[in-house]
Amino acid sequence: MIPFNKPCITGNEKKYIHEAILQNKLSGDGPFSQKCNEWMEERLGCNKTLLTPSCTASLEMAALLTEVGEGDEVIMPSYTFVSTASAFALRGAKVIFVDIDPKTMNIEPAAIENAITKRTKVIVVVHYAGVSCDMDKIMEIASEHRLFVVEDAAQALLSTYKGEPLGTIGHFGTFSFHDTKNYTCGEGGALLVNHKPSIERAEIIQEKGTNRSQFVRGMVDKYTWRDLGSSFLLSELNAAFLYAQLENANQIYENRMQTWKYYYQKLYPLMEAGYIKLPTIPEECMHNAHMFYLKMKNGNERQALMNDLKDNDIMAVSHYVPLHTSHAGKKYGAFIGEDHYTTKESEKIVRLPLFYGITKEDVDYVVQCTQAFFSS
């Protein structure tokens, strides 16, 4: 069976976990966490990163930092993972789902503008498949209406928009290190605090609502309860694992990109023949080969291809069921504007196996089976 995903292991993970055990500090914000933060701050050129237990936790921190609550509205795509919405619904805000651009499956700026009301406080963008949203337009809309922008960059570490790393453009950016993502530590995440006035509060929220970070730096002589917060730190064991991956980030990137380009090149004739559509990468975007997907004509064809691949021992998967059609999505949110593309296009997506170290033989086999599906 060719799996859909295999967590990436590059070599130093065990060694660094062993070092973490010997350093007598397993809780968060230790030496390995600092190394990971320094790596991200230097590589991405951002002010402040905080390692968290997940991208979900990072989104929850971002929701606290934007101070949204009952009566406020948060605009986001319906075509995304549950956590994008749940983090803001947890604060009592109403989730406003809007349509996407079918070329990238990213939020459509015109649909954002159409959904803005006096109650709107935040725009959450999702860089689907590590391909950037139209950030110039979105930041312009946000500044015109004085809104916060949160980038759900869960899939987008090391992608750029006009040369700017994703996650560093909005007021807050969030990454995931779940084992389905390019760089992993099992479960983990990061919050980028690009909005400087929020840095101190972000540290307090991460430390259960206390000013412990200031205490550790010797800035105050005891720490106390200052604000709402939770336990939003990543264990040093996970940070040690993650650091091994970040050190080898270029190697992981190159390997995934090679597979991505190979799929694209081999499946291109099927697009020319009109059987499928392949991802569009806008000129101003550099992506990170997070995902290789193709689009079928409709949901039935998609299921047929996935079944056929499964019969050939290949795991191909689909996602997302649009959130506005889900049980909780209806309760905590509403779709504003026309659903031209969200439902229709989401039914067409098939994701092919793509992970660090997948062999050329396996990729060739996936390509062959996909081609065979259309010739029969």
Ligand X SMILES: *Cc1c(COP(=O)(O)O)cnc(C)c1O
Cβ proximity to ligand X: between 44 and 57 the closer is: 57
In angstroms, give the least distance from the CB of 155 to ligand X.
5
User: In sequence order, which residues have a C-beta less than 8 Å from that of residue 303 and are 6 or more positions away?
Assistant: none
Half-sphere exposure at residue 52, Cβ-oriented, CA atoms within 13 angstroms:
31
In angstroms, give the least distance from the CB of 107 to ligand X.
12
User: In sequence order, which residues have a C-beta less than 8 Å from that of residue 363 and are 6 or more positions away?
Assistant: 259, 262, 263, 353
DSSP reduced 3-state for 175:
strand
In angstroms, give the least distance from the CB of 273 to ligand X.
31
In the block, residue with structure tokens 């047929």: 304
| CA nearest neighbour of 286 among 135, 65, 100 | 135
Tell me the β-bridge partners of 237.
none
Cβ proximity to ligand X: between 134 and 301 the closer is: 134
Rg of the chain over Cα atoms, rounded to whole angstroms, equals: 21
Cβ proximity to ligand X: between 124 and 270 the closer is: 124
Q: Strands (DSSP E) along the chain, which ranges?
A: 49-52, 73-77, 94-98, 100-101, 106-107, 120-126, 148-152, 160-161, 164-165, 172-176, 189-193, 285-286, 293-295, 333-335, 349-351
Cβ proximity to ligand X: between 350 and 369 the closer is: 350
In angstroms, give the least distance from the CB of 102 to ligand X.
18
Cβ proximity to ligand X: between 189 and 210 the closer is: 189
In angstroms, give the least distance from the CB of 58 to ligand X.
8
Cβ proximity to ligand X: between 3 and 269 the closer is: 3
In angstroms, give the least distance from the CB of 167 to ligand X.
12
Q: Are strands 148-152 and 94-98 parallel, antiparallel or unpaired?
A: unpaired
Cβ proximity to ligand X: between 178 and 212 the closer is: 178
In angstroms, give the least distance from the CB of 54 to ligand X.
3
Evaluate whether 269 touches 301 at the Cβ level (below 8 Å).
Answer: no
| CA nearest neighbour of 180 among 131, 106, 243, 130 | 130
Binding site for ligand X (CB under 6 A): 54-56, 80-81, 83-84, 126, 152, 154-155, 176, 178, 189
